[in-house]
Amino acid sequence: MGLFVIDTVASLGRYNLAAFLPFIMSEPGGWARETISLAQSIAIWLYALFVLLSGALVDRIGSRKTFLIGGALIVLGWVLLPTAQSPWQLYLYYGVLLALAVSMTHYVPVMATTRKWFIKRAGLVAGIAGSAWAVGNSIFMPVMTGLADSHGWRYTSLTLGICFGAVIILCALFIIRDTPESMGLRPDGEASPPAADPTASVEVSWDIKRALKTSQFALLFISYSVYNIGLNGIEAHAVAWGTDLGSPQATAGIFSTALAVPWILGCVTGGWLGDKYGKSRIMPIGLIIATAAMLYGWLGVHTQQGLIALSIGVGLGTGLQVPLYAPLLGDLFGRARVGSLFGILTFGYGLIGGWGPLIWARLREATGYYNAAALVSVVCYAIAVVALLLVRPMRAGGGA
């Protein structure tokens, strides 16, 4: 529950700029769409670097301390963001500071912690925890656009940032614990066996360097990196695309909600199916659904209703597979270093996937529409499908 609550509000430090984008562009002296999109891409690129640190911190100092540090940075980033008066300040406060804060509170530390606590039900638990950001977006994106319309985006950022940071810090202090072993338990809540119990199974534990050399990790890296070009693009521009299609700014957050709500269903369902039928079997199915939705985005989205349909398809399909990456890493390489390995995987997400918002912005400016950006995303999702289909179980253990 603590992890779910943390991720519900922590992720909004990344998506707040998507909610505020129309308001920033329309205020006197407002920045151009491409300027703001560059800030979004910078944030993703640096997030990719910072998760290498946060993943390692989860393994070394524990989740609790990692979340506490990140929660304090969340407050600082949200509070400084509305003081930005020039692009370099936007890049610093949003692109650097909030990227660091989000890396220590959202997704990588959350998913790594779930995998340390669960083995048998790792997929389902990761699916529930992985749906948290979508719950946060579906609830708070319309709230943010509504408040920004009535009180201004700067006041909205200041107020919500303090509230969200306080929630993370309180959860870290009073709920989060690093591992089941720290409470005298085993994964999945089972009691610890006697010290000399010969029936206790020995868990596989791969060395990081050896894991990185496997084809399985390389394929997961490719899939997770490339499909996120399309996902980051639509996440960053769904609200702006909606306003292009005639939606009032105050209610345009509904397009992010249309992506987030089916994501919740997809995450929980995908996690359960992954535990039951195999994670590497379910993940390509989800990406195929998202690929088909993006294809529709290229060919058929010319109305607000069409954009909602596109968002639903992308959210559902992506949600079916995205929470299974960390559990699958744990299955392949063990729990001990899953934070570090997932951090490295997410480095690829940011390094490559971080181009998504900028690509979408440039194609929108060049063509006048977002449909061409959806076509690029079709290709990205298709590449990810092929990579996942090539993932095979490990033949032998790794070595600590």
CATH code (residue 136): 1.20.1250.20
Does the residue 187 lie in any domain? no
Does the residue 46 lie in any domain? yes
Q: Cα-flanking dihedrals φ and ψ of residue 399, to 5°?
A: 115, 130
DSSP 123-157: HHHHHHHHTHHHHHHHHHHHHHHHHHHHH-HHHHH
- pLDDT at position 184 is 79
Does the residue 240 lie in any domain? yes
Q: CB of 329 within 8 A of CB of 338?
A: yes
DSSP 17-67: HHHHHHHHHHSTTPPPHHHHHHHHHHHHHHHHHHHHHHHHHHHHT-HHHHH
Does the residue 265 lie in any domain? yes
Does the residue 398 lie in any domain? no
Please enumerate, as own/partner, the contacts of 309-313 that have beta carbons within 8 Å and a separation of 24 or more: 310/234, 310/374, 311/234, 311/238, 311/255, 311/256, 311/258, 311/259, 311/262, 312/258, 312/259, 312/261, 312/262, 313/262, 313/289
The rounded average pLDDT for each run of 10 residues, N- to C-terminus, in the chain (400 residues) is 90 87 85 87 89 89 94 96 95 96 91 85 87 85 90 94 95 88 77 48 75 94 95 90 90 85 92 93 96 95 95 95 90 84 87 90 93 96 96 64
| The residue to which tokens 């095979």 are assigned | 392
Does the residue 6 lie in any domain? yes
Does the residue 188 lie in any domain? no
Taking the C-alpha atoms of residue 220 and residue 291, their distance in angstroms, rounded to an integer, is 17
- pLDDT at position 256 is 83
Total count of domains within the chain: 1
Residue 228, classed as helix, strand or coil, is helix
Amino acid identity at 33:
R
Amino acid identity at 167:
V
Domain that holds residue 263: 2-178+206-389
Does the residue 201 lie in any domain? no
Q: CB of 105 within 8 A of CB of 78?
A: no
Taking the C-alpha atoms of residue 54 and residue 45, their distance in angstroms, rounded to an integer, is 15
- pLDDT at position 190 is 66
Conformational region of residue 150, where left means phi above 0, alpha means psi within -120 to 50, and beta covers everything else: alpha
Taking the C-alpha atoms of residue 387 and residue 384, their distance in angstroms, rounded to an integer, is 5
- pLDDT at position 175 is 86
- pLDDT at position 189 is 66
- pLDDT at position 202 is 52
305: exposed, middle or buried (Cβ count in 10 Å: 0-12, 13-18, 19+):
exposed
